[in-house]
């Protein structure tokens, strides 16, 4: 159960990272 929760948290962190990178690219292109 612990491993499963850890994998789920990693997945959520990955989504946040992808969104952050996506917005960073948009901001850089706007600049």
- pTM: predicted TM-score of the whole model, two decimal places: 0.52
pLDDT at position 1 is: 66
pLDDT for 1-31, tens place per residue?
677 887 778 788 888 999 999 999 999 998 7
Structural domain spans, the chain = 1-31
pLDDT at position 3 is: 79
pLDDT at position 19 is: 92
Residue 8 DSSP class: H
How far, in Å, CA of 27 to CA of 5, rounded?
33
Continuous segment of H or E residues that includes residue 21: helix 2-30
pLDDT at position 10 is: 78
pLDDT at position 13 is: 84
Q: Which residue has the tokens 């948009």?
A: 26
pLDDT at position 6 is: 79
């Amino acid at each position: 159960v612990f491993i499963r929760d850890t994998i789920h948290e990693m997945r959520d962190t990955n989504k946040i990272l992808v969104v952050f990178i996506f917005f960073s690219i948009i901001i850089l292109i706007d600049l």
